[in-house]
Amino acid sequence: MPDFIKLLDPRPWIALAVAAAILFCVVKYKDALHQVDKLTAQIDKDKAEATATARENEKLMSRSLAAIATNHQKEMQDEKDKRDKFIADVRTGAVRLSIPVKACPASTGANTTAGYSHIPETRAELTPEAGTTLAAIAADGDDAIRQLNACIDSYQAIRAIANHVQTK
């Protein structure tokens, strides 16, 4: 019976239970580390995919903006060439500019507004200097509109790419 009494001693059973608990904790800890490693790997993969997508979209945006800028520069140069030729023609007299004016009525003593309505339209020719100044003012306005349109085109291109990315 002494062997049976040795089996009832709780110390070996407690040691066995503690060893089993430690083994259980070690296994759970390793499983937790494995899960952390898997999640970290997934995060790294998602991060790499997001970075690649962002770089691809950045390249697409850069190409779009470069195409718009190139087109804008070409359009501005073409219009400048046309404007320079027009201004040169105005200066040499090849193109004459005039504006409509109403002729003053013959001095009959009565100067009424009703009298002006029957007078035919006449034209006043601008001097070459005034014509070139007027053409330059109009050209500056046209250039500003072209620049605004290029800005709008750039905004729309970036917006379209950004909207496409958000719908993915």
pLDDT digits (tens, 9 = 90+) for 59-68: 999 999 999 9
- Which has more confidence, 91 or 108? 91
Q: What pLDDT is attached to residue 48?
A: 96
At 122 the pLDDT is 86
Count of structural domains within the chain: 1
**Residue 65 belongs to domain spanning:** 2-167
Q: Are 96 and 127 in contact (CB under 8 A)?
A: no
Distance separating alpha carbons of residues 121 and 100, to the nearest angstrom: 7
> Rounded mean pLDDT of the chain?
87
CA distance 61 to 158: 6
Q: Angle, to 10 degrees, between the axis of helix 128-167 and the axis of helix 10-92? A: 160
Query: Is the confidence at residue 115, as pLDDT, over 60?
Result: no
Q: DSSP letter for 97, please.
A: -
Taking 70 as the threshold, does the pLDDT of residue 110 lie above it?
A: no
**Tens digit of pLDDT for each residue in 84-93?**
999 999 999 9
Q: For 98-122, what is the mean pLDDT?
A: 66
161 Cβ contact list (under 8 Å, min separation 6)? 57, 60, 61, 64
The DSSP output letter for 98 is: E
Residue 105 confidence (pLDDT): 67
Q: What pLDDT shows up at residue 32?
A: 93
CA 95 to chain centre: 41
**What is the C-alpha separation between 35 and 72, in angstroms, rounded?**
54
pTM of the model: 0.63
